[in-house]
Each structure stands twice: as structure tokens, then as C-alpha cells.
A and B are shown apart, each in its own frame.
Chain A
């Protein structure tokens, strides 16, 4: 090991999956004791590159040097031996085990657990002190907050002597406060000489915490720059390959009559109270945004309004007439007939049937519409023509109605859903996470469509975990926490910090 060698050096890494070249001749050098950001759109090849570094995939070509030594990484065991640790976006923790049990899982010293646990507890205490990662070693994982669970993941890697930490979209599930705490931990780790690779699509985080940043586009590493020398606008341009509007342009809202009125809505699902009395109105020509950390009742709110699940109490009216919120969760058809469009939170498991071709998906949920039918049979020609028309107007690429949904990129899949739900100009549009896993170019397009629908005088309920999106699009913002609305704010009279506190359940009285 040479003291000046970079912690990680990749030389000419290439990897293809069938005809898709996921990584093309990538070279990268990360100095020890730095935080290096990697940004890029979905499908740019970030995850593939990190999977190669962590031994999940084997590169077709190229070499990996760790601390100056050529180190082949055929599997994740080898990665761990080389001192590489990975914190996945979705935690790999056993929910009903304690922290210490999770930490030693797969790294036990022998057949009997007691000595391993005793040793691990001592090491954990030491690690917690060294890096400011305070977690109770005997707490059960499912009792911990998401932020603390993430700390356990980091501790797990440190326990395995990781010197290089890869974090994949670590703040996706955190409140802004928790994200700040995570960044303080990362800074501490850096100060102790650890090397950190941070994969994210949030440019603000890149600017806040990283020392250097690399941009990936279409499988290639296009730029590596010092963070201090760049700006979010420049990074966005490097990612997309053209100038992008990061700020959404919109005129002030002109709210009209009340479209949707929700009173004391309650949902009990899976034996848990998910909504504990939610009330709000949405008017014509306004976007009502709901912010909050995922899992605080937003999903159930969308699902009950979309007719997918039943409410256990409360009432909902649309244009003054009641909406059936019992019905056992098969009300999607009547909702559509009442003029409610619904872009669901998860396009892959709800909004689209992945093996279906695009033209079959464009009719999904509206398949009983006479225009798709000829007598008892479905009119495939009409469905395909309608799909081709929508693909052209909503810029779906490739514009091929015969391609299965799973073969489109995330952004184009979302455009298919958006085209289907928005093209009928519904009086009320429910939108959940409209730009999750969608590339920047498509985000811009989808945001414009949502605002255009508002300007036609339609009501829009927007649920998103991306605060920037909520603040940029909404005319009014409500924050949900633990099944309740914690407060309502106007976007120009609030900021990330205030919303972040509400998202963490801190009410005005206590703040």
C-alpha cells in the first residue's frame, strides 16, 4: 500500500447486459478521506458501476485498484475483504433482531453466539463513540426510526472494517433533519480517514457534502469536478446534456369552487390506523401538495380517494355529492366515471402491467370506455391508434405501441401513465410521487403537464416525498405525520426547515 495512492481507482470499466452497454470505459479515482458524489439520471449506470465495485456484477473489461493495489472483486466477500462496505437504499436488516444481532449477522466468530455478541457490543460502543453514531445495541430494529436503522447499516459496515463506504440514495427515506444528521456522521467518518462514495440524484446534497463529484450519462462518466468549482445548474446540464429548468415556472393560482372536500377521513388498514382524521378542501385551479416522509398515511390517502381501499370513517364529497369510500376497495371504475384521474405512487406495481404492451396499458382502467370496444370485443386497432396518438403528444420514447411497458425507461413509463390519466382532463387528479425514478428531462415535462392541467381549472392533489417538488409545484402545502395533517403552509411563506420540522412531527406549540 502506498500512502499517497487513491483509495479507489477504476480503470476502463465496461459492462453490458445483452445489447445494453450499462458502463462504457469508466475510469475514476477517489482520494482517501474524501466524500465523492456520483450523480446521473436513472439508467445512467451508477448502480451498475457500484455493483461492480461491490462484487455483485463482474465487469466485462477493466481493472479495480484499492489503495494502489490491483484487486479483483469477483464477489461481495472479496469486496468486504478489500474494506468496501455498501449501505443500500433499501436496508438489509432483520426487523425482529436487535441491533447487535444484526451487526454480527454473517460475521459471527463461531457456532455459539454469546461470545460474538459480547465482543460486538464492546466494539459497537467504541464505534459509536468514535463516530458519533449513537444507537442502543439492544434495541429491536423495527422499533427504531428509519434514520437510526440507517445508522445500524453504517455500523454494520464499520464492524466489518470497511474503509470505503458506498451509500446508495441514502436520504430518500429521511426527513431533512435526519438527512442533516446523516451528513454530520459522514463528515465525522471523513475526518477519521474513511472514504465515502455517495450516489444521489439530489443536487443540493452533492453541493452540501461532497468534495468531488462525477457525472454519469448513458453509461459513461462524462465529468469529474471539484464540488467547489461547480453549481447545481451546471451539474444538471452535464447530467442531461442540455440546459434544464430546475425551477418550475408558474403563475399564481386562481382558485375556484371546491372540487373535493375531505372531512375527518380515517383509514384502518392491516390492523393499524393509517389515517387518523384528515380534513381538507381542494378547489378548481389549485395544486394541493402533501409533504411528508413516506409511510405517514399519504399512500392510504391516495388509495382511499382512488377507490382502492375502504375508509373506516369520515366523509368525502366531490362537487358536493358524496363519494363512496366504503365498497371494499373496488371503486376504481366509479372514480374514473366521476372524473377522477389517478397517477399512482408506484407505476411498476400499480400504474402499469409491465408485461403488457404500451397500447394495452394506455387503456388500463379505462378499458370499458366505448372507444376501446366494438360490441363484446375489445377494439385493438382503436386502442393502438389511441396509444400512438398519446405517445406522440406526450413525447413517449420510443413511440412504439407494441413495446411491453417494462422495456421503457422509468421516465417514459411514467409518461405513459401521465398521458392516460391526464389526457381526459379529469376534474380531480390524484398524483403520487410523479417523478420518482424519472430522469430530469421527463421531470420537467411532467411538471409542466401538471401545471397546465391546473391552469385549465382542474383540482390537483399532489403527494410527494421530494420537498423541492412540493414547494415548486404546490399552491398550498399540507404536511402529514403519523396519519394526521400537522399544518398547512403557503409555499412562498415557508422553507425546507419549517416543513422538515412538521414532517418530523414537531408541532407549532413545541417548536
Chain B
């Protein structure tokens, strides 16, 4: 017997967690002498109050959908891939290599090539920790996080020594050709008020398509069935003839590939060149997004939207209320991650006992009524 109705698990608990996080954030804002109410208004207006705000919110959400899906797919195999950050960085490397070295006639073909290269590079980066886990038993949490540092250092080295344009001081690659410019929000949704400068681009449709494909993969294919079986019970998977090695490798390749595709949105869609630290923590936010979204694509989209709004609203907040520094905004975002991810059980357990006692009372009442 389940302890709670499904809607409570999927909607109520994340909602309560977010509200708790916002209340604590409000206390922090009040502590530094600002009005929590006004801060809240600025954040909401900053994220959703204008086409400009929406553009950034959706742009960030696109990143988080990719990294959130990456973590979610791995979760289904009970693999904790916290290397999304590094995998996305290496994915960006793949995008830059293929866009800088080939003269692409049209952005559509370039997009397909960039998709393949970002996913392949990132998957290859994820394959090493996956192999170490599957064959050598090195824990994937440790190895993926170490690979984040290696990826970051590798990217710095390559940007400074290989990609940097002669004569430039900036550690970034040359600008991609005009022909590979992705249509932005102003091009496909100008009627909604998006301008030509919005970072929002067609990658958002890729992200949504990835959600559908991940759903089909996990719940409709034999591979997804095997991934879920393995995730629930490795010993049962072995009994059924499902190879733990194979599932670990394939799952991590898919997970890494999804994380890598995030680079399409940033490197190809927004910056249009490879820049330092372009991932900006999206790999880690993906963990919170997957946790909050219960590893389901629909939940991931909703959670990604929330975190996109927090990113964009937070940026507006430090702009409009100078007393709230950038660090303060990070604190607010961290509180949301803390409450939705790490402190999930704190909300869950009281809610479960509440629902149990409600049900018992209802049943007691039902039992008494006919007798009386």
C-alpha cells in the first residue's frame, strides 16, 4: 500500500519544499535589512515580467533540461552522475571543433553535426568513469567529480594554447561563421515580443524533444526496462541475464551525451564561440532538477523552469537591489537546492504520517457509520 497519493508525492512535496526554501531565503534577506517581499517581487518580475525576462528564463531552463535529463537517466540505473559539469564542457569542445573546422552551408546541417559531436565528446568523457565503475568498482560519484576538474583544466589549456585567436588576450575561440548562427527567439517567436538579442534559441526545441525521447527510452523500450531493472536491483538484473557492465556503460553514455548537448544552447546558440566556464554550474543544478523532478521528464521540465527563473530573477535582484550581492543570490539558489534535493525527507516523512492518519481516521469513520 502506498503511503501517499501520487499527486502529493509529485506536486505537493516539491511545492512545500520550495515554499520552505523561499521562507528561509526571506529570513536571510530580512537579516541583511532588505524587504523579503520586495526581493520576491523583483525576482518574479525579473524572471517572468517581460519578454526579455522570459527569454533568459527559458534559455537557462534549456540548459537545465539537458543536464537534469542527464542526471535523471543515470538515476534510473541508480548511477549518480555528478559529472554533468565536465561532460557539458567537453561537449562544448566537440561543438567548437566541428563548427570551426568545417565550412557549413546552413545552420540546420551544422546543428545536426554539432549535436552528434557534443553528445559524442561528452559521452566519451563519461565513458571513462563508467568503465572504472563497471569493471574496476571505482565509485562513479568520486570519479565523475574528479573528471569535472580534469575537464575544466583541459578546457583552460586548450583555450589558452590552441583555440585562442592570435593577438587576443581573451581565453576564447574565434567566432563561429555567420552561416551556423541558430535562429533565436526573435526569429521564431518574435510575435511574442522576443527581440533579436534574446539568448533564447531553437535549442529549446531540442531540449523538449530530448524529454520525449528520454520518456520513450525509459518507459517504452527494452533498454529502458533493463535500465530500470538494474537500477532497482542489480542481483535481479543478473538473474534475468542483464549485464551490469553493459547497462552501466550504455546508461552513462546516454547520460553524458545529454549533458553534452547543453553546449549547443550556450556555445552554438548564445556565445557563438567557445568561452571559458560556459557551463556555469548547470551540471550541478541538473542534480537538483532531476531530484526535484523525480527523474521524470515532465518533472525535469518544471524543475528546470523553476531554476531558470531563479537564475534570471536572481540576476535582476542583484541589479535592482545592490544590498543583495551576487553571493546572496547564490545563497537563495542553494537554499532551494538544499530543500528540494537534500532535505526531501524532512518534508516527506511528516506528510506521509499525515496522510496515513487521515486515511485511518476516514476508515475508522467508515467503520463506525454502518454500525450506528
Contacts and interface: CB of A to CB of B under 8 A. Distances in A.
Interface of A: 16, 18-20, 306-308, 328-336, 342, 344, 346, 349-356, 360, 363-365, 367-368, 373, 376-378, 380, 407
Given A367-B226, A378-B222, A330 B245 contact: yes
Contacts of B236: 349-353, 364
A377 B220 contact: yes
Contacts of B229: 353, 356, 364
Contact of B225 (A16, A332, A360, A376): A360
A135 B187 CA distance: 84
A307 B243 CA distance: 11
Contacts of B240: 332-333, 364-365, 367
B360 interface: yes
A360 B228 CA distance: 11
B3 A378 contact: no
Contacts of B243: 330
Given A332-B240, A332-B241, A365-B240, A354 B233 contact: yes
Interface residues of B, number: 27
B225 A367 contact: yes
Given A355-B232, A367-B222, A378-B225, A19 B1 contact: yes
Given A18-B356, A353-B232, A376-B221, A308 B1 contact: no
B1 A407 contact: yes
Contacts of A16: 360
Given A355-B232, A368-B222, A18 B1 contact: yes
A349 B222 contact: no
From A334, A342, A350, residue with most partner B Cβ within 10 Å? A350
B106 interface: no
Contacts of A354: 232-233
A476 to B, nearest CB: 26
Nearest to A383: B225
Contact of B359 (A18, A331, A351, A407): A18
A299 to B, nearest CB: 12
Q: Which 5 A-B pairs give the minimum distances between C-beta atoms? A: A332-B241, A333-B241, A330-B243, A365-B240, A350-B239
Given A18-B359, A354-B232, A378 B241 contact: no
B80 to A, nearest CB: 18
A419 to B, nearest CB: 16
Contacts of A336: 241
Contacts of B222: 367-368, 373, 378
A328 B241 CA distance: 11
A334 B239 contact: no
B351 interface: no
Contacts of A363: 225
A491 to B, nearest CB: 29
B225 A330 contact: no
22 contacts: A18-B1, A18-B359, A19-B360, A20-B1, A330-B241, A330-B243, A330-B244, A332-B238, A332-B241, A333-B241, A346-B235, A349-B235, A349-B236, A350-B235, A350-B236, A365-B240, A367-B222, A368-B222, A373-B222, A376-B221, A377-B220, A407-B1
Interface in B214-261: 216, 220-222, 225-226, 228-229, 232-233, 235-236, 238-246
Contact of A19 (B226, B239, B363): B363
Nearest to B244: A330
B3 A342 contact: no
A377 B356 contact: no
Interface string B183-227: 000000000000000000000000000000000100011100110
Q: Which of B222, B356, B359 has the most chain A CB atoms inside 10 A of its CB?
A: B222
A333 B222 CA distance: 13
A333 B237 CA distance: 11
A363 B241 CA distance: 13
B242 A332 contact: yes
B241 A334 contact: yes
Contacts of B1: 18-20, 407
B233 A18 contact: no
Contact of A378 (B221, B238, B239, B360): B221
A124 to B, nearest CB: 39
B251 to A, nearest CB: 16
Contacts of B216: 377
A339 to B, nearest CB: 14
Given A330-B243, A356-B229, A364-B236, 7 more contacts: A16-B360, A329-B238, A350-B236, A351-B236, A351-B239, A376-B221, A377-B221
A301 to B, nearest CB: 15
Nearest to A377: B220
A331 B225 CA distance: 18
Contacts of B220: 377-378, 380
A368 B241 CA distance: 11
Contacts of B238: 308, 329-330, 332, 350
A353 B76 CA distance: 13
A335 B239 CA distance: 11
Contacts of B226: 367
A349 B238 CA distance: 10
Contacts of A377: 216, 220-221
A331 to B, nearest CB: 7
Nearest to A308: B238
B238 to A, nearest CB: 5
A407 B2 CA distance: 9
Nearest to A331: B241
Nearest to A363: B225
B239 A332 contact: yes
Given A18-B1, A377-B221, A365 B233 contact: no
Given A354-B232, A355-B232, A364-B229, A342 B242 contact: no
Contacts of A19: 1, 359-360, 363
Contacts of A329: 238
A342 B239 contact: yes
B242 A330 contact: yes
A306 B239 contact: yes
A332 B246 CA distance: 14
A344 B356 CA distance: 35
A358 to B, nearest CB: 15
